[in-house]
Chain A
């Protein structure tokens, strides 16, 4: 039993390492696919003043950082964002093309329920969606019973990516305001 006790930290590490590596790989693969193998250098958008307020309005809470990375090539931008469903953050990749959402994909799902949001039957609804003047999605998204919080998280992330794309497309925001 004593030897088994000593093995637990090693076992935990072995379980943890592939999980973090998978998350990292999923993000890399998402970007590679989004930009057909030519991933541009990341840029940064700072959240302060009006932007911070707008982001807080979209999410219903402050974003937990002052700047967000993104990747842009011409009219297309890619965002890797996190939002909590019920208790755990869900990592979501979003591609925005010319102001509308081209693709949304769950890159890491850590909640015990609500994983249905990963599948195309749900994510396909977001294709071509945009935001209105109030930074809300301009089209209805059908929910999934039993996955309400995860669905809400994905809708928030979609609206956030579209908003951030709209402000980064207009001006240079790579430096802190």
Chain B
């Protein structure tokens, strides 16, 4: 072997080594993200990533998650029953389940009455569910409004009739009068501070942490180019392992 040949070999090796280094640096950040998120995803159950939701405003903005701007709110005493999306709130406290069609809410003695999903919810002042009354409990179909009459009794209005339950909400009786003495619950605009709090709460329940980890792991978090970037990083890792092995073999000789 000539000296020139040796020099050529060393140059080739050094060139490979430089490329290997650059590829290593380029892939390092992606490798860290993939490895770290991979470890976390392996323990989704333990860390409850499926049930926990992202609260970070910028991540929620990045995903384009917005709370509904329109919400429906009824005053109950000095508080509010509000429907936002399919979430129902007593002030800031969320009342479980999915809801739609809020048609009224009012305070009846020491109880709150809410008409939603064509059900009547009876709540304690703290927002605990006393009972959820449905059609098979005698609740009239197609409730459009609820209100209180001059005697402080509940009345519900459907398209054609007005009904009143007994004190235990067991029997519902149709009223013959037009209900002129009834004060119907009417929606009010929610004060901006509470509205903002509810919107933040709503947004904070949408995006599971697991979704973000999966998107970080696949590169989708970084937009359309993300998966391609991560593909390139994966290709670099393959090349790294090949060049690394090659350099190691050459040096051994």
Contact = CB atoms under 8 A, between A and B. Distances in A.
A24 interface: yes
Interface string A16-44: 00001101100110000000000001101
Interface stretch (A59-67, A110-118, A141-149, A162-170): A59-67
A28 B168 contact: no
Interface stretch (B58-66, B69-77, B130-138, B198-206): B130-138
Nearest to B133: A69
A20 B141 CA distance: 10
A66 B128 contact: yes
B136 A66 contact: no
B152 interface: no
B135 A66 contact: no
B15 interface: no
Nearest to B137: A69
Given A41-B170, A64-B96, A24 B132 contact: no
Contact of A67 (B96, B131, B134, B135): B131
Contacts of A68: 131
A158 interface: no
B197 interface: no
Given A41-B170, A44-B168, A66 B130 contact: yes
A153 interface: no
Interface residues of B, number: 15
Interface string A56-97: 000000001111110000000000100000000000000000
B129 A24 contact: no
B130 A65 contact: yes
A168 to B, nearest CB: 15
Contact of A66 (B131, B134, B137): B131
A67 B137 contact: no
B168 A66 contact: no
A65 B135 contact: no
B134 A24 contact: yes
A27 B128 contact: no
Interface in B120-166: 124, 128-132, 134-137
Nearest to A66: B130
A27 B136 contact: yes
Contacts of A28: 136
A27 B129 CA distance: 22
B96 A24 contact: no
B227 to A, nearest CB: 31
Interface string B102-132: 0000000000000000100000100011111
Contacts of B168: 44
Given A41-B170, A44-B168, A64-B96, A80 B136 contact: yes
Nearest to B171: A41
B130 A24 contact: no
Given A69-B131, A69-B170, 18 more contacts: A20-B135, A23-B135, A23-B136, A24-B134, A24-B135, A24-B136, A28-B136, A41-B170, A44-B168, A64-B96, A64-B97, A64-B132, A65-B129, A65-B132, A66-B128, A66-B131, A67-B130, A67-B131
Interface of B: 96-97, 118, 124, 128-132, 134-137, 168, 170
